[in-house]
Amino acid sequence: MFPTAATASLNRGRVHFAYGLALVMVVTLGFFARFNQLSAEPPGFYSDEAYYALDAVAVRDGARPIFFEGNNGREPLFIYSVALSLAVFGQTVFAVRVVAAVYGSLALVAGYGAARGLFGPRTALIVTALQAFSLWALLFSRIGLRVSTVPLVVGLLLTAVAYGWRLQRRSLIMLGGALLGLCFYTYIAARLIPLVFLGLGVFWYFFRRATFPRWDWLLAFAAPALVVAAPMLAYALGHREAYFGRAGQVALPLAAAIANLPSVAGMFIWQGDSNWRHNFSGRPVFDPLTAVAFLGGLAWLALRLWRQRDLRAALVFLWLAVLALPTIFSDRAPHFLRALALTPVAFFVPALALEAFEAGVRRWLPGRGGAAWTAAVGCVLVGAHAWATALVWRTYAESDAPRYAFETAATELAYDAQNCAAADGATTWVDERLWSRFPAIPFLAPEARSAALLTLQPRSADMRLCLYVPAGESIPDILAHWPGPVLVEARRAGLDRAEGASEAYWLYTRLALAPTVPVEAQTRFEGGLDLLSAEVNPTSTGVRVRLMWSASQPMPLGLHTFVHARVGDQMLGQTDGSLGGEPYPAETWRDGDQVLQVVDVNGAGVSGATIAIGVYDLESGRRLLTAEGLDQLIFEP
C-alpha cells in the first residue's frame, strides 16, 4: 500500500510535535538548571562578583558611567542589569546571580535561533541541548560576572544576520549591526567579534563574489554597529589606559601565545581550565562521546569549506579562531572565562557531525533509515552529555575546592555581620583589612561599618557590639583600652585556603561584647575560677554547650577545658581546647569580665547520654577541683 498525502501530512505533524516537545523539554530543563539553588551553588560570593555588585549599587544610587574603571575596568551592560535587579531583590547574592541566570537562559533561545538560521531546525535542537547541559555554559550562567552577557548577545547577533540574509530583510541586518555594536558593552573579548565579520567579508568577496552583498546592505550592517558602539569607542579614545589596561596586563608575547596553542586546542577534548571558579578543575568542555562528535564536526566543516567554499563553515572556523585569541594570548590558558565568547558557535560543531553521519548512513540505508539512525544517535549524544554534566555538577557542588575558590569564609562573615547588626541590634564593626580585601562584606553587610579596630575608641561598656578581626589578631590588645567589665565571646570562624595551598586556616575572629549579666556563680573551681552558668542544648549533629566563666584573680598559663558526651563508659564525642577559646585564653582575661565559651560536641545526640565538663592544666594533666572536691561536672541534655 502506498502512503497517501493525508498519511504523509499526519506523519509530518507527528514529527513536528515530537520536535517541538523535545525543544520545550530541553529549554525547560536548561532554565531549571540555571535557576535551581542559585544562591548556594556555587557557594560563597567571589570578589569579582561583589565588585560588580558594588558598582551596581552606585548605579542604583544615581551614578551613570559608560565604563567602570575600578577593578581593572568593566563594561556596563551587566552592571546596569544588576542595578535593576537590586531594586527588586535588594542587596543579595541572588540579585546578582539571577541576572547571569537570565542572560544564560535566554542565550539558549538565542543560540537555537542562530543555529536554526544557519543550519536548520534539527541541528538547532542538538545545539540547544548541548548548550543547555554543558558544564561550561551552565557554570557561567550561575556566577555574577559580566561575561555572562556575551552568549546571549552573540546568539541574537547571529540569528539576526542569518535570517536577515536568508529572508532578505534589511531591517534584520540593521538589527544585527546594532547587536554587533552592543558587543562593546559586554566583555573585553567581545571587542574582537567585528574581526570575524571582516574576515568573513574578505572570504566572501574572493571566493563567493557572485553572492557578495551590495554596498547598501553592507552599510545597513555597519552603520548601526558604529552608531551603537560610538559612545564606547569615544570613551576608549579618551581613556586608553583605563579601557585597554586589562588587556595589557594579561597579554602574553607571541612566543608564549604560540606555546598556548596546544592547551587551548585541547580544552574541548582533553584538558580544560584548572580554575575551580570556571570549571570542575581540568575537565574538558566536552565529555568523550561529544568530543568525538566535535572532531567529526570539524572534519565535516573543513570538507565543506574546501570543496564548496561554504560561507557557514568559514564563519564557524573564523569564530573559533578569532574568539580563542583572548585565552591564547593570556596567562593560565586554557581560560574558560576569556573563551566564553566561543559559545554558542562551539556547540555548532558536534551538532553538525550528525549531518555528516546522516549523509553516510543514507548511502547505505536509503529511504527513512538515515533520519531514524541520526535521531537515535542524537538522543544518545545529548543523553550522555547531560548525564556526564549532572554527575560532575553534583561532585562539584559537594567539593570543598569551590568553597575556597568562591571565598565562602568572607561571605559567611558578611552574613553574620549583617545578622548581628539587623537581628541582634548590635553595632557591628569589621576590621578595615577584611573590609577592603573582600568586597562581599560591604555589599552583603550594609549595616556594618569599617574601622581599624585596634585603635577604635568605645563610648561605653554598656554597648552591644560585634567585631570582626583577622584570625591572628590579639583579642587582649583590642580589649586593652575598652571600658569594663563586659561579657566577651571570641571565636574563630570562616575556614579559608589560599589558591594552590593544601592547608586551610581560620579567616577571622568574631568578638561579641555586651554588658555583663548579674548572676551568681554556679560552680567555683580552685584558683579563683568561677563557672557562672552552663547550658546544654541538642543540635542536629549532637549538643551545643554554652559556658559562662569569670575569674577573680589572674589565671595561669595552659588551662584547658574538656566536654565529654558519654553513655556509661562509652565515649560518644568530645572536644578539648583552651579555657575561654583559642582567641581569648584564660591567662589573658581582664578582671571582672565574663567570658562566654560555646562548644559543639558531635555524635552526642543519643538518649541517655550525659555531658561531663571539667578544667585541667595542659602541662601536668591535673584537673582543677570544684569547691565540693569534684574534678568534673555532669549534665544531662
Q: What is the pLDDT of residues 620-635, one digit of tens each?
A: 999 999 999 999 998 8
Residue 134, classified by CB atoms within 10 Å of its CB into exposed (0-12), middle (13-18) or buried (19+), is buried
Specify whether the CB–CB gap between 329 and 249 falls below 8 A.
no
Selected residue with higher pLDDT from 483 and 66: 66
Give the single-character DSSP code of 46: -
pLDDT at 410 exceeding the cut of 50: yes
pLDDT of residue 369: 59
In this structure, of 9-23, 264-278, 331-345, 374-388, the range with the lowest mean pLDDT score is 9-23
In Å, how far from its chain's centre is CA 79?
Answer: 16
For range 375-396, the mean pLDDT: 90
pLDDT of residue 557: 93
Helices (H), 120-214: 121-132, 135-140, 150-166, 170-182, 193-207
Q: Give me the phi and psi of 451, to 5 degrees please.
A: -160, 160
pLDDT at 540 exceeding the cut of 60: yes
pLDDT of residue 8: 47
pLDDT of residue 429: 92
pLDDT of residue 33: 95
Query: How many alpha carbons lie under 13 Å from residue 583 in its C-beta half-sphere?
Result: 29
For the stretch 86-94, contacts whose Cβ atoms lie closer than 8 Å and that sit 24 or more positions apart, written own/partner, are 86/53, 86/56, 86/57, 86/60, 87/60, 91/53, 91/57, 91/443, 91/444, 91/446, 92/39, 92/444, 93/39, 93/45, 93/49, 93/144, 93/411, 93/444, 94/38, 94/39
What's the pLDDT tens digit per position in 27-73? 999 999 999 999 999 999 999 999 999 999 999 999 999 999 988 89
Give the single-character DSSP code of 3: P
Global pTM reads 0.91
What's the pLDDT tens digit per position in 423-473? 667 789 999 999 999 999 999 999 999 988 777 766 666 678 899 999 988
pLDDT at 167 exceeding the cut of 60: yes
Specify whether the CB–CB gap between 524 and 627 falls below 8 A.
yes
Angle at CA 134, nearest 5°, toward 147 and 22? 120
Residue found by looking up cell 568605645 in the block: 458
Residue 517, classified by CB atoms within 10 Å of its CB into exposed (0-12), middle (13-18) or buried (19+), is exposed
What's the pLDDT tens digit per position in 556-611? 999 999 999 888 778 888 899 999 999 999 999 998 899 999 998 887 666 677 88
Highest mean pLDDT among 170-179, 486-495, 619-628: 170-179
Specify whether the CB–CB gap between 97 and 40 falls below 8 A.
no
Look up residue 317 and give its three cell numbers. Answer: 572556523
pLDDT of residue 390: 93
- Is residue 366 very low, low, confident or very high in pLDDT (cuts 50, 70, 90)? low
pLDDT of residue 1: 40
Specify whether the CB–CB gap between 565 and 615 falls below 8 A.
no
Query: How many alpha carbons lie under 13 Å from residue 228 in its C-beta half-sphere?
Result: 20
- Is residue 541 very low, low, confident or very high in pLDDT (cuts 50, 70, 90)? confident
49, 198, 276, 359, 430 from 273: Cα distances, Å: 19, 30, 8, 35, 35
Residue 208, classified by CB atoms within 10 Å of its CB into exposed (0-12), middle (13-18) or buried (19+), is middle
Reference 15, options 7, 357, 30, 1; nearest CA is 7
Tell whether the torsion through CA atoms of 179, 181, 184 and 189 is positive or negative: positive
Bond into 42 cis (ω within 30): yes
What's the pLDDT tens digit per position in 102-137? 999 999 999 999 999 999 998 999 999 999 999 999
With a pLDDT cut of 70, the percent of the chain lying above it is 94
Mean pLDDT in the chain?
Answer: 91
Residue 251, classified by CB atoms within 10 Å of its CB into exposed (0-12), middle (13-18) or buried (19+), is middle
Kindly give, in sequence order, each residue whose CB lies less than 8 Å from that of residue 38, ignoring residues fewer than 6 positions away. 94, 97, 98, 101, 142
pLDDT of residue 604: 63
Look up residue 160 and give its three cell numbers. Answer: 539576526
- Angle separating helix axes 369-398 and 288-308, nearest 10 degrees: 130
In the sheet with 570-578, reading across from the earlier edge strand, the strands are 570-578, 559-567, 610-617, 633-635
Helix (H) or strand (E) holding 489: strand 487-496
Radius of gyration of the chain (CA): 32
pLDDT at 6 exceeding the cut of 70: no
87, 176, 201, 314, 361 from 207: Cα distances, Å: 52, 23, 10, 11, 31
For range 5-15, the mean pLDDT: 57
Give the single-character DSSP code of 190: G
pLDDT at 92 exceeding the cut of 50: yes
Residue found by looking up cell 568577496 in the block: 205
Query: How many alpha carbons lie under 13 Å from residue 523 in its C-beta half-sphere?
Result: 22
pLDDT at 203 exceeding the cut of 90: yes
pLDDT of residue 50: 97
69, 105, 339 from 81: Cα distances, Å: 18, 15, 22
pLDDT of residue 2: 44
Kindly give, in sequence order, each residue whose CB lies less than 8 Å from that of residue 283, ignoring residues fewer than 6 positions away. 135, 272, 392
